[in-house]
Amino acid sequence: MPEGARRVARKAFCGLFELVFPDDCRVCGEPLHEVSRIPVCSRCLREPEPLNAEFYCVSCRTPFLNRFPLDENGQCALCRLGVSGFDAVYSYGSYDGALRKLIHLFKYGGVQPLAAVFGNWMAIALPREEQFDLIVPMPLHWMRRWQRRYNQAELLGREISKRWNVPLKSVVRRRKATAPQAGLTNSKRRLNVSGAFIAKKRLDDLSILLVDDVLTTGASAASCARALKRAGARRVTVLALARTDRRSNSSFLPELQAAAMTAVAGSHV
């Protein structure tokens, strides 16, 4: 069939499908006009603006309003203390607006095909010169995985594995069912996940890319990274699709100081 005829046929089919099975975009609520495995309109699936900041920690890339929380080397308090666990962090966008809604569809709404879209965006955030021996998805406790039926971090890790040609292996186990992190302060988040992870094998001298969907305070990523380091990993880099931009939160600095004190204690677990 000629290309022109194929386009006409597809348009007619989409029109019939829309008439028989009307649906709305799960993000903006507008009617959908295309047949797709992702119930989101093309406008809402456009590549969002990357998270940019003039002032940020050179290690964990936490954005700040000014240079005050950073030392002369550009590091924040947690990274200065050396208790963050990971060596570097990359993320694509800010965890708000349309991107937050898309992540909720992916994570809680079962829209697994979004993993391929997110994989493309995450690949933009990760510098091509980085080298890794292994990609590790952030693990879920078995009870939460049973409830959700899949691990969203593992789906994202597969996409990155295909693009970087680096093997993906679930080498970390979440050994305790922690309370949900949402709504907890920085210090309570770190206490919540302290000692929650254990590596299932030795990872001597490996450079690890730890993949997750959202980075809030980095408490879970730090705890998991420490478990990887205890198993012998030489370097742990975190890659997240989105991170919380806490620059508008005036209570961030006091909580960061509390988190640093908690992290020091947690690093000995």
Task: Tell me, yes or no, whether 106 and 163 share the same domain.
Answer: yes
The sign of the torsion formed by the CA atoms of 145, 94, 53, 55 equals: negative
For residue 195, the enclosing domain spans: 48-266
Provide the token pair at 43: 């406008």
Structural domains in the chain (count): 2
Q: What is the rounded CA–CA span in Å between residue 156 and residue 159?
A: 5
Residues 19, 5 within the same domain:
yes
Pairing of strands 197-199, 207-215: unpaired
- Does 32 share its domain with 73? no
Q: Are residues 103 and 231 in the same domain?
A: yes
Pair (34, 105) in one structural domain? no
Q: Tens of pLDDT along 123-159?
A: 999 998 999 999 999 999 888 888 889 999 999 999 9
Are residues 122 and 52 part of one domain?
yes
55 and 38 in a single domain? The answer is no
Residue 171 has pLDDT above 70, yes or no: yes
pLDDT of residue 39: 92
- Same domain, yes or no, for 136 and 74? yes
The pLDDT > 90 percentage for the chain reads 42
- 134, 137, 138, 141: CA torsion to nearest 10: -120
**pTM over 0.85, yes/no:** no
Mean confidence (pLDDT) of the chain: 80
Rounded CA gap, 228 and 207, in Å? 10
Share of the chain above pLDDT 70, in %: 75
Do both 168 and 190 map to the same domain?
Answer: yes
Whole-angstrom CA distances from 76 to 73, 81, 185, 219, 245 are 9, 9, 18, 15, 15
